[in-house]
Structure 1
Amino acid sequence: MYKRVVLKLSGEFLAGESGYGIHPDTALELARSITAALEGTGVELAIVIGGGNLWRGARNGSGMDGATADYIGMLGTVMNAMALQDAMEQAGQPTRIMTAIQMAQVAEPYIRRRAMRHLEKGRVVIFGGGNGAPFFTTDTTATLRALEIGADVVLMAKNSVDGVYSSDPRKNPEATRYDHLTHAEVVAQRLEVMDATAITLCMDKGLPIIVFDIFEPGNLARLFRGERVGTLISTP
């Protein structure tokens, strides 16, 4: 059973059927499912959320300076963090937002020891603003924060995909699903689990990753209880 975990969420999970923007009812439904899964487990939870429902640097910032486009994306993750915090607290779960880019009116600055103290007090910590530097994804942020706070695992939440496959199962019905992989196998086979920087960092530090479908009822609660769900990526 895990003591401390980092949950990586896609910004699109807040968008609803439109696929864009923030849909409050969708955010509340997600927050309620996370809060219910946490109940009674004693798990300390930190969340890293992306910003793809609002902005994608490479796509939206065509012709724009790359660093500027990425900074805009970081601000989008803070907007999502605020929406998720509001939904989590409506669901009865105390939270704190911590950002790598300082904006004191809406969030605390990221300080490692303060984040760990919040977790120890039973607060869910939502990390926004990426890692404060351009050219890194929120996958890398999730890995970095997990290592900094001493998390046991990174949970990579997916929508309607229940693990890692040999190819996209939505396009190839004969794709093979893996129950377990090593980090090296993910890199060698170029499986799209997370970006190369993030998976390499996990491999170097021996940090496990679990890829799972967060919208399958009960999956998150089972993971918090230490049960096997989805695909485990770990050292041999």
Structure 2
Amino acid sequence: MGYKRVLLKLSGEALMGEQNYGIDSSRLEQYALDIKKIHDEGVEIAIVIGGGNIYRGVQAEASGIDRVQGDYMGMLATVINAMAIQSTLEKHGMYTRLMSGIKMEAVCEPFIRRRAVRHLEKGRIVIFGAGIGNPYFTTDSTASLRAIEIESDVVLKGTRVDGVYSEDPEKNPDAVRFENLSFKEVISKGYNIMDMTAFTLCQENNVPIIVFDMNKPGNLEKLVLGKEKVGTFIS
């Protein structure tokens, strides 16, 4: 089954590509072309992206910065990434809107739920930056919350691994990949997919999560259009 409206969660670290920090333009290009394929098919797309390639709020205390201040710094990092992906998408002919959890009118709109839904209905790609605008919440939580608010069919968690495994596949080549899991199974077995706040939000509001490898070109199209079973489906 294909999906009509999706929320795509991307990690900031993924934008580094083979670099140690920052944004790899070739990775941005690949993401934009994959997103364009499903956009051209009429899929309504919202995006949440992390900021770990620039700064992570959890680094704050280790470096002597107040945790709340560090979280706000991390939110600003997500806006930098959001602006980068917005520019790349528009270069390929897609209309976008960047909406922020923190007011910064010079570069993006404030998040207003009805306006976000209207943008999606008009075929614009909506990018959510600056988290939910509050410290102590991750971009995973932002993805779950925004997916619920815009009534997304699914949360697509794009990672560098092709699903959920019984163990870390990079450490154990015999680890088993799951095609389907329930929310209860993930919690009982302790699989680290999202932080618990984000995961519980999806569970309580019946929003399925699909964990898949976003770095493999074509995976997003196969998944969203129902062409092929990709990743791990959690419901």
The answer to whether the 8 A contact 1:14-1:27 is kept is: yes
Q: Structure 2: how far apart are the matches of 1:56 and 1:216?
A: 25
Shift, 1:60, TM fit: 4.6
The answer to whether the 8 A contact 2:60-2:67 is kept is: no
**Structure 2: which 5+ runs fail to align?**
none
> What aligned pairs does 1:27-176 form with structure 2 within 5 A after superposition?
27-40=28-41, 42-62=42-62, 63-159=64-160, 161-176=161-176
Shift, 1:162, TM fit: 0.7
Amino acid at match of 1:14: L
Question: Any idea what SS the aligned residue of 1:188 has?
Answer: helix
1:220 maps to what in 2? 220
Worse overlay, 206-215 or 12-21: 12-21
1:17 maps to what in 2? 18
2:191 maps to what in 1? 191
2:207 maps to what in 1? 207
RMSD: 1.2
TM-score by length of 2: 0.95
Shift, 1:35, TM fit: 1.0
Amino acid at match of 1:140: S
Q: Cα deviation per residue 1:49-70 (whole Å; 9 max; x = unaligned)? A: 0000000122254222111110
The answer to whether the 8 A contact 1:37-1:218 is kept is: no
Question: Any idea what SS the aligned residue of 2:51 has?
Answer: coil
Question: Any idea what SS the aligned residue of 1:21 has?
Answer: coil
Q: Structure 1: how far apart are the matches of 2:36 and 2:28?
A: 12
**Structure 1: which 5+ runs fail to align?**
none
Q: Structure 1: how far apart are the matches of 2:20 and 2:88?
A: 18
Q: Structure 2: how far apart are the matches of 1:83 and 1:177?
A: 33
Amino acid at match of 2:176: T
Q: Structure 1: how far apart are the matches of 2:47 and 2:190?
A: 26
Q: Structure 2: how far apart are the matches of 1:154 and 1:191?
A: 17
Q: Cα deviation per residue 1:185-228 (whole Å; 9 max; x = unaligned)? A: 11111101111111111111111000001122321101221342
